[in-house]
Amino acid sequence: MLKIPTLLKTVVCLASFFVLTSTVRAQDVTVNEIINTEKIYDLHFTDAKRDSMLNQLNTNLRFYQYLHGFNLPNNAPLPNWFDPVLPAMTFNLKQQLINWNIPGDVVMPADTNQLAFYTIAQLSSLLRHRAITSVQLSRFFINRLKKYGDTLRCVISLTEKIAMEQAKRADAAFAKGLYKSPLQGIPYGLKDLFAVKGTRTTYGSPPFRDQEIDEDAFVYRQLENAGAVLIAKLSMGELAMDDIWFGGQTKNPWNLLEGSNGSSAGSASATVAGLLPFAIGTETYGSIVAPSAVCGATGLRPTFGSVARTGGMNLAWTSDRIGPICRDAEDAAMVFAYIHGSDVYDRASRTMPFNYTGSVDLKSIKVAYAKNYIDSLPGNSAEKNVIKTLRAAGVQVAGIDFPSNLHTNDLLTTIWAVESAAAFDPLTRSGKDSQMVQQWQSRYPNMFRSARFIPGVEYLTVCRLRYMVMQQAFPLLSKYDIIIVPSMADEPMALTCLTGNPCITLPAGLAVAGSAPPSITFIGGKLYSEAIITAFAKKFQQLTQYERQHPPLFVR
């Protein structure tokens, strides 16, 4: 998102040019062209109505030419921001102190390679007790990225200079007994759509391969304030779709013949392979959930607006959100605690309390499962085994019919298509979309072009229907603290992308040769319920320890 003074400077500099070029006339629209176009939009007018439209359509055409002259950058703000909060919703607005459980008995392993899979809390303990320095720890993970990054195609650029500067600052703070957060001195990676001064921000696509943005993203600044150490910009599916970018396909660490899914492809792949302790991903429609599920990570997709997106690539303003991809649920809680919050540039962002305690009363928490997605699965499915495990632990799990007839997939993809086409409008009109790697029909170049033929009237109708879906879903979802769904089920994923509800995706079974562990997704029935869903996921992981499995190729 572009900071306002920068945008004003851009408009002022171009204003005189637009005045000169806005008078250039395009070839006039004809009645026959109106007739041919009506079919595309499911419209039917009489000859008299078509004739009366001509003057306005030609006026519109010249205005479009004027608009196209602006070539708005991707980070120019959209002032029509989306708010997931409905009038009937109420929230606790008081932030309480979080007491993190940093163990005191963690020791350096005899085989230092085992550090690759230590949790944030374990690494934080080692750092605080001076068993290792942040510089040493950062070097350890940078070396792993150098060793395995090409194998997984998960790294776009290393940020060694930044890392060493930040690691030295962390070590100096430790020497003085100053502790900012559990993330202090901990290395991490950013999906390469976040701006960091002095680095390339490539969006994973050739037209942006050399792009440098003189700005630090909000999420990067939050992590810097917490004392974390940026060691890499990680691969992403091109312009945040799929797992293919200009460096190839990001690989699944459990099976190098398969991709890691997308678009937070490198964030999930690198974390699961132990190339860094955690990473930051983004989601518009499944881009945290899917790679976490496919790679066996624990990924938290927060409530829409919980983390300001300033300095990040805009894809769909009313759906994009930022979240952590980690080893386990408590790691995800730790990262979220220090990245969540709003700023003045992302007007859709909201600072809400995150009152994480790390514990839940399993006998009183309200849990449901989507029986219309799970009951028909085999008896030994991971989803059914999750429910058995929870019930054995004393959880009352109710079966519900998760809404599946609201056309949520169509609504979300229409919004996504229109907004992303606007975000990358100059790319399409310049013809540089032909330089992109993904050129098949279902990918962005064609999606952006096709979306130009979605009328503004229909887009706004879809947005209004979205609000109706939110109203219909709220009474059911809000009855429960947790709703269990298959991770890759499209309609539950799409519905909660529309409503803004949070979810966490995590391993849900044992891995078999050549495959990652199966996964499960716990949806928060209420907005801003990240503290509950991460604590519930932590409890499930304590019961099962599925998250402690690691891909054999990288355990050395």
Q: Do 52 and 179 lie in a common domain?
A: no
The verdict on 144 and 289 lying in the same domain is: yes
405 — pLDDT class (breaks 50, 70, 90):
confident
Interval 198-233: pLDDT, tens: 999 999 999 999 999 999 999 999 999 999 999 999
Q: Are residues 295 and 378 in the same domain?
A: yes
Looking at residues 281-303, what average pLDDT do you find? 98
* Model pLDDT, residue 5: 44
> Tell me: the pLDDT tens digits for 406-428?
999 999 999 999 999 999 999 99
pLDDT, tens only, 235-254: 999 999 999 999 999 999 99
Q: What's the confidence (pLDDT) of residue 12?
A: 40
Same domain, 64 and 125: no
Residue 461 lies in a domain: no
Taking residues 5-33, what's their average pLDDT? 54
Strand 298-301 relative to strand 244-245, pairing: unpaired
Q: Are strands 229-234 and 187-191 parallel, antiparallel or unpaired?
A: parallel
- Listed residue (510, 507, 135, 140) closest to 329, CA to CA: 507
Strand (E) positions, 125-278? 155-158, 187-191, 229-234, 244-245, 248-249, 251-252, 255-259
pLDDT confidence of residue 27: 80
Instruction: Say whether both 201 and 58 belong to one domain.
Output: no
Q: How many domains does the chain have?
A: 2
pLDDT digits (tens, 9 = 90+) for 63-97: 999 999 999 999 999 999 999 999 999 999 999 99
| pLDDT at 130 (0 to 100) | 97
For residues 28 and 124, membership in a common domain is answered with no
Is 107 part of any domain? no
Mean of pLDDT values over 493-505: 98
Domain of residue 54 covers 1-70
- In this predicted model, what pLDDT tens digit does every residue of 364-389 receive, in sequence order? 999 999 999 999 999 999 999 999 99
Query: Quick one: 48 and 120 in the same domain?
Result: no
Say how far apart CA 163 and CA 142 lie, in whole Å: 9
Do 199 and 272 lie in one domain? The reply is yes
Structure token digits, residue 257: 């013949």
Residues 39, 137, single domain; the answer is: no
Residue 16 has pLDDT above 90, yes or no: no
Average pLDDT of the residues in 476-486: 98
Q: 124 and 65, same structural domain?
A: no
Mean pLDDT of the chain: 95
What pLDDT does residue 229 have?
Answer: 99
Q: What is the pLDDT of residues 429-448, one digit of tens each?
A: 999 999 999 999 999 999 99
Q: In CATH, what number is assigned to the domain containing residue 194?
A: 3.90.1300.10
Please check the confidence at residue 549 and state whether its pLDDT lies above 50. yes
Name the band, by pLDDT with cuts 50, 70 and 90, for residue 17: very low
Domain-embedded: residue 257: yes
For residue 9, what pLDDT is reported? 44
Listed residues 44, 70, 96: the one ending a domain: 70
Interatomic CA distance for residues 544 and 550, integer angstroms: 15
> Quick one: what percent of the chain has pLDDT higher than 90?
94
- End-of-domain residue from the set 70, 100, 129: 70
Q: How many CB atoms lie within 10 A of CB 65?
A: 16
| Domain-terminating residue out of 39, 70, 101 | 70
Same domain, 375 and 477: yes
CA distance 159 to 132: 21
Q: Is residue 134 part of a domain?
A: yes
Contacts of 539 (CB under 8 A, 6+ apart): 359, 360, 362, 393
Q: Is residue 98 a part of any domain in this protein?
A: no
- How would residue 256 be classed by pLDDT, with cut points 50, 70 and 90? very high
Residues 478 and 384 in one domain: yes
Supply the residues annotated as catalytic. Answer: 191, 263, 287
Percent of the chain at pLDDT > 70 equals 95
23, two tokens: 């008078």
Residue 198 domain flag: yes
Q: What is residue 1's predicted lDDT score, i.e. its pLDDT?
A: 54
